[in-house]
Amino acid sequence: MRSGNGKHRRPRQAPAIVVAAGVTGAGIALPLLGATSAGAADMATWDRVAECESGGTWSAKEGNGRYGGLGLSLDAWQLYGGTDHAPRPDLASRAQ
């Protein structure tokens, strides 16, 4: 990349969460869920993840095995206790 003075700028480093998601291949949501609880991240963070994963649509059902705003698989939803709230992520509210 070149700045206005013709010198190259150093590219910005990707946030650690994006790098972790790329390494695991599990999507961005799983590193956040790996914290002590789903509530470990604030709502603004979850909203940013949902914006990337589903365009911010918490009831998303993409037809590719990913559900809800965070684009979770049913296995991940079950593993992290999501079925305590709804049968599938796309059926859960944003708060859940």
- pLDDT number for residue 41: 86
Answer yes or no: is 27 within a domain.
yes
Domain that holds residue 86: 16-91
Answer yes or no: is 4 within a domain.
no
Distance CA 70, CA 33 (A): 10
**Mean pLDDT taken over the chain:** 76
**Number of structural domains the chain divides into:** 1
pLDDT above 90 covers what percent of the chain? 52
- pLDDT number for residue 23: 43
Quickly list DSSP for 48-86.
HHHHHHHTT-TT-B-SSS-BTTTTB-HHHHHHTTGGGT-
Q: Which residue shows structure tokens 């799983």?
A: 30
Distance CA 10, CA 42 (A): 30
Neighbours of 76 (CB within 10 A): 19
For the chain, first and last CA: distance in Å?
42
Residue 86 maps to which CATH number?
A: 1.10.530.10
Per-residue pLDDT reduced to its tens digit, 5-45? 555 455 555 554 444 444 444 454 455 555 455 557 899 99
Answer yes or no: is 39 within a domain.
yes
If one compares 8 and 47, the residue with the highest pLDDT of the two is 47
- pLDDT number for residue 22: 47
